Every structure is written in structure tokens, then in C-alpha cells.
Chains A and B, each alone.
Chain A
Amino acid sequence: MGGALSGGEIWEVLRRPEDPLEIMPPLYNKRGLLNANVLDLRLGQQFIFMRKAELSALTFGKTSLGKKGSNIVLRRFYETICIGYNNDLVLHPGELVLGATYEYLKLPNDLMAYIIGRSSWGRLGLVIATAIVIHPGFKGCPTLELINDGNIPLHLFPEAPIPIAQITFHWVGPGQKPYRGRYSENQWVGPTGPGYSRIHIGEVFSKWIKFRERRASHPHAI
């Protein structure tokens, strides 16, 4: 056991009775899997756009509002919209939009995965994810960070049967503790659309920001 899973192995994990890999809806078939060794993922209908006009910069320290305050600042920055199959999502050069996969995944505890782009989109300048690791036990629609790195606007097709990303699976070695994060099996339902950045929730982050604020107000005390 080790390395990336072959198509045949993915097929077995999908059909095993104990702790299977679940993908809903199941838009794969055995033949396709055996040929590719990866699963294709499609684009969902929810997107988070950044309201650039309303904020000069994303800053956390100066608000001094604690966790809640930072959350409100972030929410002011984000705007969620739905674009169904009737419309295209137009991604302009240099623009970042958060999307999610159309597929809902539940990873077993002995598998981790990587979401990677498809070369056909990549050659047009589309980057689909920068944080590509999916931990064992993850549940939900993974968030995609869609960035147009090319020079011309790109039309993307939400909910279309056109793969935008692919996922490759890896066995996790023995002794690995199951993932206990926010989107783990502990939570009944995982994210059903793209998620906001939660950078301000981290303990180290907030401690560091508070430390800097204290130091700024009493430079000689510390």
C-alpha cells in the first residue's frame, strides 16, 4: 500500500462496504476510471466574489475588534452569488473568484487527495486551486480558488458536464490519526458551496495580531 491510487483501486474503494469513498452524484464509470486513474470534478453554481470597491485593504490588526470584528470585515469583502447552467461565469485576467465543485465528496480515513487542474484549462491560463490537499475524512464540496492567469477573459460553465478539475487519491500510511478539522466526519454535513477564508480564526494568528497591537501601544512594556 502506498503512492497514488490506480483507477482500479479507486473503483474498489468506491464500492467497498466499510468506509467507502463517496462521491455524489456519481458521474464516473469503471471504464473511464481505469483509463484515467483520476476522477473528474465539475464546477458548482455558487461563487464568492471580492468587493474590491468597498475596502482599501484586508487588514485585521487595526480593527481591534477581536474574532467577531475580523469576521465582519471579511464578510464585507465577500459577496456570494449563484450562477446556474443558463449563464457563464466570466473570469477576467488577474481576477480571483472562489467556487466549489459540483460533486460532494466524503473521503475515507485511509485516503487523502489532491485537487489539480486540467491541462486543457491550464493552457488557457486558469488556475483552479492553490490549496490542493484534501485530508482523510473530509466531507463536502471542496472550495476552488479560480484565478485567470492569462491575458484574456475566460468563460467558465457552472454545472456543465465539462470537467474543470481532477482529483487524485493517495493511501495514508498506517499510524495516521484521522483528520479532525472543521470539515471532518465529526461534522454531520460538510460545506455545500465555497467557503470564506478563515485565516482570522486560527489561534496563533489572533495571538500574533494581539501581540503586535500591545507592542504598538506600549512599545517599552514588552
Chain B
Amino acid sequence: MPWGSVLQALVNQAVKRSDYLQDRLEELQSKRFNNAEPSHFLIKILDNINNNIRRRLAEFTQEKFQTILDFPTYLDNLDLAKVYANTIHDIYEYIFLIETSTVESSPPAIIPAIERIARKLIPVPDKFHILICPSLRGWYAYKDLLTPMSSNFPSDILNEDKLKEIKYLFVLNYPFFLKHDMLCHASLLHELGHLFIIANDLAGQAWEKKIKEIKEIPREISAQKILYFLTEYLADIFAVCLIGPAFLFALLEAASPLASPDQQTGEHPPLLLRIRNILDTLDVYNQRFTRFVNFDFAKKAEKFLDSLNQFTSLDNLRDVLDEETPNPVEIYRYLEPALVWAKKEIGEKIPHSLHFSPTEELFETYIKKFVKQGIPPSASRDRDEKGKKVTPLSLGELLNAVWLYQVVELQNPGPLKPSVEKSPHTGKLRDLRRLTQLAIQQIEVLHLYENAKV
């Protein structure tokens, strides 16, 4: 049996794919990316790995194939060739991520906003790369790219020094079909929260400080599950601190189609319990609208939040979620001391200028004067006679203004229209997203002007 010929076929195939990869990587270098730094870093790394693979594959010469005559020698070489072939396959997945993050294929508006917030919050930002790109089948998610690369790829083709240039390389995904939905993209802040927790080791600290002390956790609740749930709750706290109730509205709209609100998955607690945690966090950060109920928008929004609050009381949820074993409410109870600690810790770690705090202007100016009139609420002007100072709105102020308008004005519970197409709100919902996209773009440009001192 000419075992060398069988191996040669496999190696030739790998060489062809590697050549094609090289073309794709070269083509990518000519593209424009929303996240230029992480994209170019990843292209460089992949290019380096691919070149190393090509070098290794070149060692399989015609003479070498002719010497492989017995099965054991074939197997030894086959394993090596397979490793390279699999690595090439993995590189394709990374390339797909980069290709979807080009300016043409992803919405540019929200990305600079997330990047700006990340730069302020993530320690050592130059060692922390975040790639924000759409996912064809997935939902809002985060993924570590660096760890699997260094653990799965063979060490002889990895340029360790290059990898050491950065500490983290994460991808934040948003669903492709919600590409232009800037309102739902508020959920990206939850994913950014995961990175904030990792960078500050908040889950570990909460575990050490609060959860480890609790002795009575039943054995059937796995520590891994507790840690997963804790991380999700902490990421929610992070997002709430930044954008307040807008995150709750985004979560309700973006997460509802995923699963029934009373269902838990391996990593995510039931949506109802997340809502409970978010409502508690809104109270802690004083982000409810109770002080502004003389405004119609605040009154209606408060009514909605109150009804959610009643429904998600822990006593009620214990009955609603009683089919799950162990009852997720019990896990939430164990986590409560850690969550109280985390709310304080996250609140202190995030600079006060980034906290969302509702003001009268939100209702008087941003909703009533701008959103209701169809004008992008992107900036406020200090009310001095000279009118010199223009302050960009925070992401929290903008998202709350548009979400409150949508929740109160456009999706106010009422009798269903006979036809969805004839609903006057279908177009308005689309226009609201268009308006938000423009407002986010203008806000980010105003921040640039501030930095440039122009």
C-alpha cells in the first residue's frame, strides 16, 4: 500500500487551503474595519500562523512521501498533517469574524460608542482588544479568542511573542438580523460587562468574599452553575449602572424570543430572575423615575416598572419557577449577599460621569423636545446667554429617551390592530432606530471634537 500517496493527498489539500487563506488574508488587509486595531492585530497573527503552517507543510517533500511505506510511519505523519489541517480550519473561523467586522458589513454607530466606554473602564486598554461583529446564527454573546488560540494551536506555529503583546482579545457578537437596531444593541453593554468582570476579577472576589462563607448550599447545586449565574447577574449590574432602565427594556425585547422567561439554561438564570436583579439594581443606583412622575412619560414608565416589580417578587417567582430543581430562586438567595457587595463595588469602579442618572431634562428636553419631534437627541447646550458649551448626551441619556418613547408612546398596551402592516407604528419603530443611529454617530463625533479641543 503506498501510504505516502494517501498522506500526500491530505497534505496537498492542506497546502491548497493554506494558499487560499493567504489570498483571503491579503484581501482583508485592504479592507476598512470598524475596530481597526483588533482586526489588524488578528490578521497579523493569523498571517503569521498560516505562513508557519506553509513552512511546515513544505517539509513534506516528494522524497519524504516516497519513504513512507509502512502503516506506523504513516500514522505518525498523519497526526502531524491532521493538526495543521485542523488549524487551517480554525483560522477560517477567525477570518469569518474579521470579514464580518468590515465597515460595509456592520453598523458603525454603536461600535465607537462601546469602544469609548471600554477604553475608560477596562484597565490597560492597549492590552485589551475587543472585536465587535455580527453573528449569523448566534445572539448577543462574548467570546475569548486568545485562550483557545494559545491552547489549541500547535506551539511550533504560534508566535508566542506576538501573542504576548496583548492580554485579552475578545469578540462581542450581536445578531446579524438586528444589525441596525441600535435600541437592542444596549444588550452589548451586558457583554462588555463580562469583560469588565474578567478584567477586574469581580466574580472571583465575590466568590472569595461572600459565597465561600455560605455553608448551607446544597450539594446538588454545582459550584460551576453558581459561578455562571453570578457572572450573568454581575454583567447585568454593570449594564444597569451605565444605562439604567434602557437595559431592562432592551433585555425584554432582545432576550424574550430566545427562551421562555421562566427557563434557565446551563449558563443563564431565568429571565425573570435577571429582571428581579435589574429592578433591585435600579433602586440601589437611584435610577427609577419616581421623582419625575409629574411627567407623563415617567408616570407611565413607572407604572410598567411597578407591575414588573410585583410580578418578579421572589415569593411570586418561587411559585412560578417551582418546576426547576433546584429552584433558581434558592440560588438567587445564596447569591444575594454577593450581589449587594458587587453593586457597591461596580458602582465605585465605574467613574461617576458614566453612571446613568435620570434628570428632568430627560423628559422635558430629550423626549419631548427632540424624540417626539423627530430630532436626534445628541447634545445639550448649557443655558448661558453666549451658548458656547455643547455637551454630548451620554449613551444612557440617549437610550433611555428613545426607549421610554418607544415603550410609552409606541408600544403602549392596548387593543391589537387587525393588521400589523397597517399599524402606524411599524414605520415609526423603524424611524426611531434610524434617528437613534444618527444621534449615536453625532454623539461620538462630539466626543472626538472634545478630545481634539476644537
Q: Give the interface of A toward B (CB within 8 A).
A: 15, 22, 24-31, 45, 81-82, 84-87, 102, 104, 106, 139, 141, 159, 161, 187-190, 192-193
Contacts and interface: CB of A to CB of B under 8 A. Distances in A.
Contacts of A84: 103, 108, 112
Contacts of B376: 24, 104, 192
A29 B388 contact: yes
A192 B103 contact: no
Interface string B100-117: 000110001000100000
A139 B431 CA distance: 13
B32 A188 contact: no
Name the 5 nearest CB pairs between A and B, nearest first: A25-B379, A189-B431, A189-B374, A192-B438, A188-B374
A166 B207 CA distance: 60
A187 B374 CA distance: 9
6 contacts: A29-B387, A30-B388, A45-B108, A45-B441, A141-B438, A193-B438
B373 A29 contact: no
Interface in B428-448: 428, 431-432, 434-435, 437-438, 441-442, 445-446, 448
Contacts of B36: 86
A181 to B, nearest CB: 15
Given A22-B375, A31-B388, A106-B373, 6 more contacts: A25-B378, A86-B36, A104-B438, A188-B374, A190-B374, A192-B376
B379 A24 contact: yes
Given A139-B374, A188-B431, A30 B448 contact: no
Given A30-B386, A86-B36, A189 B434 contact: yes
Interface of B: 32, 36, 103-104, 108, 112, 370, 373-379, 381, 385-388, 390, 392, 428, 431-432, 434-435, 437-438, 441-442, 445-446, 448-449, 452, 454
Contacts of B373: 22, 106
B88 to A, nearest CB: 32
Given A25-B446, A29-B387, A87-B32, A106 B375 contact: yes
B448 to A, nearest CB: 6
A104 B431 CA distance: 14
A82 B434 contact: no
B435 A24 contact: no
A187 B424 CA distance: 12
A86 B103 CA distance: 11
B180 to A, nearest CB: 11
A97 to B, nearest CB: 16
A187 B435 CA distance: 13
A139 B375 CA distance: 8
A104 B379 contact: no
Given A106-B375, A139-B374, A192-B435, A26 B448 contact: no
B301 to A, nearest CB: 21
Nearest to A187: B374
A25 B392 contact: yes
A27 B378 CA distance: 11
Contacts of A139: 374-375
Given A29-B388, A82-B108, A188-B428, A104 B375 contact: yes
A102 B444 CA distance: 12
Nearest to B439: A24
B434 A192 contact: yes
A90 B437 CA distance: 25
Specify which of A85, A189, A192 lies most central, judged by the most chain B CB atoms within 10 Å of its CB.
A189
Contacts of B434: 189, 192
A108 B431 CA distance: 21
Contacts of A106: 373-375
B375 A102 contact: no
Contact of A24 (B32, B104, B375, B437): B375
A31 B387 CA distance: 9
Nearest to B379: A25
B76 to A, nearest CB: 50
A159 B443 CA distance: 11
A87 B386 CA distance: 34
A173 B63 CA distance: 92
Contacts of A24: 370, 375-379, 442
B386 A31 contact: yes
Nearest to A28: B387
